[in-house]
Amino acid sequence: MRYLLIVALLISFNGHAQWKSYTIGKKHDTLNRVDMKGLKQGPWVVHIDPLRGEDGYDEQGYYKNDLREGIWKRFSNEGDLLAVESYYLGMKSGRCKYYLYTGELQREESWRAIDPKSPYDTIDIVDVNDPSKILRKEIVKVEPNSYKHGTWTYYNTENGAIQSTEEWVMNKRKEDVVVSNGSEDDLAPIDVTKGGSKSKTNSTTAQTDEKKVAKPQQVVEYEKKNSNKKKIKVRDGSTGG
């Protein structure tokens, strides 16, 4: 029995030795773990005290390499569920729900996180006259961040009915994500076949035009003065036909 106890203690010690710091939860599990590189890992519980009139709250979820990952829940100090958020690489991604202190669902949000290793995304270009009609898909380059993307729903907290909805495409209203008269906005499509945006061609043409050398003023005046005269053949001293 003594040997079993020693083995159990050694296993426990080795398990905790990989963490720079941690806390022991009510269920005797290790929480708020920080690895030897100083990165938050695994299950975490965060407590925020009330400050300057703002209510305090508690959060619980998972960290992966110092970034929030998966489902995080927020509670009031009295234990009321206030939010259920989804994270990817430390950024909101997916469906997020927010509740009143009395438990009624207040709104649902939809987010999309952009992976820094793959900063390209595909968006739907919709008809300006019919936002529900998708004209085509475009590849765009975006900064790594969380973007409003999808349906946002607002509820009447008295009866639970849907009060209003919003459609978002990468932080833009869906009805605004259109291309009209060939103009481009800040979500201009990337021409991945040529390795640049469509506006690059115009830039190259402008640079070529700038390189053209203007004629000297004397030459311009001479050509203007003799534009209506017949060309005079001048002997240059050459022989032959």
Which pLDDT does position 136 carry in this prediction? 84
Which pLDDT does position 192 carry in this prediction? 40
Which pLDDT does position 164 carry in this prediction? 97
Which pLDDT does position 193 carry in this prediction? 42
Which pLDDT does position 187 carry in this prediction? 47
pLDDT means per 10 residues, the chain with 241 residues, are 41 62 89 96 95 93 97 96 97 97 96 84 75 79 86 95 94 73 43 42 47 56 63 48 47
Which pLDDT does position 186 carry in this prediction? 44
Which pLDDT does position 116 carry in this prediction? 83
Which pLDDT does position 219 carry in this prediction? 56
Rounded Cα distance, 21 and 36, in Å: 8
Per-residue three-class SS string for the chain = CHHHHHHHHHHHHHHHHCEEEEEECCCCCEEEEEECCCCEEEEEEEEECCECCECCEEEEEEEECCEEEEEEEEEECCCCEEEEEEEECCEECEEEEEECCCCCEEEEEEEEECCCCCCEEEEEEECCCCCCCEEEEEEEECCCCEEECEEEEEECCCCCCEEEEEEEECCEEHHHCCCCCCCCCCCCCEECCCCEECHHHHHHHHHHHHCCCCCCHHHHHHHHHCCCCCCCCCCCCCCCC
pTM of the model: 0.62
Rounded Cα distance, 47 and 70, in Å: 19
Which pLDDT does position 94 carry in this prediction? 95
